[in-house]
């Protein structure tokens, strides 16, 4: 069983150097273990998804430009998440605010090539599938 992801869950990106926390707005209207529960649409940059420190992806135009200016030496730049599609796969049996609930087995893709994963669901009591 997977865990229901809630506000404050710890996220990581394969192209970032620091974790971040998931923000879930009260509009979802559901709590899991005393925190707002997330759904697969909670993927908006700088609303739900905070930066992951410094980005190392050459697909990120800022990293590419800085690396080019440094004669090819990889030059990380501040992370600016660029997520445009929902988390996948989402729960097959639980919905929150009309969307599939977010479980700790879901992943989110950043346009700059990073894979965003849930490191800690933010709670340990509520299981979903």
What are the structural domain ranges in the chain?
A: 1-129
What confidence tens digit (pLDDT) does each residue in 25-57 have? 998 888 777 899 999 999 999 999 999 999 999
**83: nearest Cα among 58, 51, 38:** 51
What confidence tens digit (pLDDT) does each residue in 101-111 have? 999 999 999 99
User: In terms of pLDDT, which residue wins out, 14 or 129?
Assistant: 14
Which three-class secondary structure state does DSSP give residue 94? Answer: coil
Q: Quick one: average pLDDT of 85-100?
A: 96
Distance in angstroms (rounded) separating the CA atoms of residues 37 and 46: 18
Percent of the chain scored above 70 by pLDDT? 100
The separation between CA 61 and the C-alpha centre of its own chain, rounded to angstroms, equals 20
Distance in angstroms (rounded) separating the CA atoms of residues 89 and 17: 25
Distance in angstroms (rounded) separating the CA atoms of residues 104 and 46: 20
In this prediction, residue 34 carries a pLDDT of 82
In this prediction, residue 28 carries a pLDDT of 87
In this prediction, residue 98 carries a pLDDT of 95
């Amino acid at each position: 069983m997977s865990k229901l992801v809630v506000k404050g869950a710890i996220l990581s990106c394969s192209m970032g150097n620091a974790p971040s926390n998931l923000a879930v707005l009260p509009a979802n209207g559901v709590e899991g273990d005393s925190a707002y529960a997330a759904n697969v649409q909670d993927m908006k940059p700088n609303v739900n998804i905070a930066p992951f420190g410094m980005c190392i992806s050459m697909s990120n135009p800022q990293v590419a430009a800085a690396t080019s200016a440094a004669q090819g030496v990889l030059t990380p730049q501040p992370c600016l998440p660029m997520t445009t599609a929902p988390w996948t796969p989402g729960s097959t049996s639980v919905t929150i605010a009309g969307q599939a609930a977010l479980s700790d087995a879901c992943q989110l893709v950043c346009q700059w090539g990073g894979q965003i994963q849930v490191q800690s669901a933010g709670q340990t009591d509520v299981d979903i599938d």
